[in-house]
Amino acid sequence: MADAPKSFRVGLVQMCAGRSVARNIDAASELIRAAARGGAQYVQTPEMTNILELERERLLPALRLEADDPGVTQFRFLARELGLWLHVGSLALLGEGGKPVNRSLLISPEGRITARYDKIHMFDVDLPGGETYRESANYQPGREAVVATLPWGQLGMTICYDLRFPHLHRALAKAGAQFLAVPAAFTKPTGTAHWHTLLRARAIECQCYVFAAAQGGRHEIGRETFGHSLVISPWGEVLAEGGVQPAVTFADVELQRLEDVRRQVPSLRHDRPFDVVYAVDTLPDEVAS
């Protein structure tokens, strides 16, 4: 059996999705083709590739089951036509139970869906400045973490707000992930404060490459997202960074670099069990006084 390839090119598609599913699919498709022309073998799109909508009354009529969704059909066709691994960062879809899901799909060069991941952590927050988000009002959270197989190694699949939960990423790395995918639609305030720091932290503590395609710019719904799609090395280095406008960000990934980092600082092998206890003051009263 031939050895697995030791390097590959990543292309991160940055978008500014709106309310029209058809326009979003067309915009994503154009950028995916640009990524293929640039030599990308693994292409990732951002969270909410097919629609960015907060109002439930507008969202629900636009959603389809995965088997009936025009974006899924188009992206499977594109992966096959272009001969690349296409990771659709997430789509708003109807789940099997009829409730919307925020779902990531990994599509092979043969056009097969090889992995699915439903976002686990819901973005329910009140931000300074008056912005409020209640993702759980529209979407059913997932219950399973997913590690998928690529020709170059194992990919841990996450989405956006999952980034703030380090135990999820650590579990994926301990399960064999060498790459972590974090397609996102980070708001401008949270992105400005935390995007780079959190992504670099996940790369360092999990000793994984991190691929994070982002939404960027001011969207039709009035929301502003941070952009700055990033590829980060297992040592925490920013290998490539996008801006705010729709574009493709490229980086070449070297597997030897990952092996070197894990050999240099083998922290993934150094986890130890422990208990959390509450300290109790046991000093005699006269000593404590």
Catalytic residue positions? 47, 119, 160
DSSP 194: I
Distance of alpha carbon 191 from alpha carbon 228, whole angstroms? 9
Q: Which positions ≥6 away from 176 have C-beta within 8 Å?
A: 147, 154
What does the block give as tokens for 54? Answer: 């907060």
Residues 225 and 219 sit within 8 Å (Cβ to Cβ): yes
Strands across the sheet containing 113-118: 113-118, 100-107, 85-94, 42-44, 7-14, 247-254
Residue ranges of alpha helices (H) inside 144-187 are 166-174
Residue ranges of alpha helices (H) inside the chain are 21-37, 56-59, 70-82, 166-174, 188-190, 196-206, 255-264, 285-288
Q: Which residue has the tokens 């991941």?
A: 117
